[in-house]
A and B are shown apart, each in its own frame.
Chain A
Amino acid sequence: MLILQCPYCGIDAEETELAPGGEAHLKRHGPGSSDEDFHDYLFARENPRGVHFERWRHANGCGKWFHAARDTATLEVFGTYPAQTTEPPKEIRDAITARRPGWRWREFS
Chain B
Amino acid sequence: MSDAVSALKGASFDGLVRVEECGLQGMITLRGDLSNRAVAKAATSVSGQKMPGQNRANVAGESGICWMSPDELLVLVPYSEAGAAVEKMTATLGKVHSLAVNVSDARAVFRLSGPAARDVLAKLCPVDLSPEAFGPGQFRRTRLAQVPAAFWMDDAETFRIVCFRSVAQYVFDLLKAAAHPAAAVGYHTSVGG
- B-binding residues in A (CB < 8 A): 8-11, 13-14, 16-17, 59-64
- A-binding residues in B (CB < 8 A): 54-55, 68-70, 72, 126, 140-143, 148
CB distance from A7 to the nearest CB of B (A): 10
**With known contacts A62-B69, A62-B70, A14–B55 Cβ distance under 8 A:** no
Q: What does DSSP make chain A's interface, helix, strand, loop or mixed?
A: loop
Partner of B142, one of A8, A10, A60, A64: A60
| Interchain residue pairs with CB less than 8 A apart (5) | A60-B142, A60-B143, A61-B141, A62-B70, A62-B72
CB distance from A1 to the nearest CB of B (A): 9
Decide if A10 touches B55 in the complex (CB within 8 Å).
yes
CB distance from A8 to the nearest CB of B (A): 5
Q: Return chain A residues, CB-CB under 8 Å to B141.
A: 9, 60-62
Q: How many A-B residue pairs have CB under 8 A?
A: 34
Decide if B69 touches A17 in the complex (CB within 8 Å).
no
**With known contacts A17-B143, A60-B141, A60-B148, A9–B54 Cβ distance under 8 A:** yes
Q: Which of A10, A16, A59, A64 has the most CB of B within 10 A?
A: A16
Docked pose: A59 CA to B148 CA in angstroms: 8
Q: Return chain A residues, CB-CB under 8 Å to B72.
A: 62
**With known contacts A8-B69, A14-B126, A17-B126, A61–B142 Cβ distance under 8 A:** yes
Partner of B126, one of A16, A59, A63: A16
**With known contacts A17-B143, A60-B142, A60-B148, A8–B70 Cβ distance under 8 A:** yes
With CB as the reference atom, state the residue of chain B lying closest to A12: B128
Docked pose: A9 CA to B148 CA in angstroms: 16
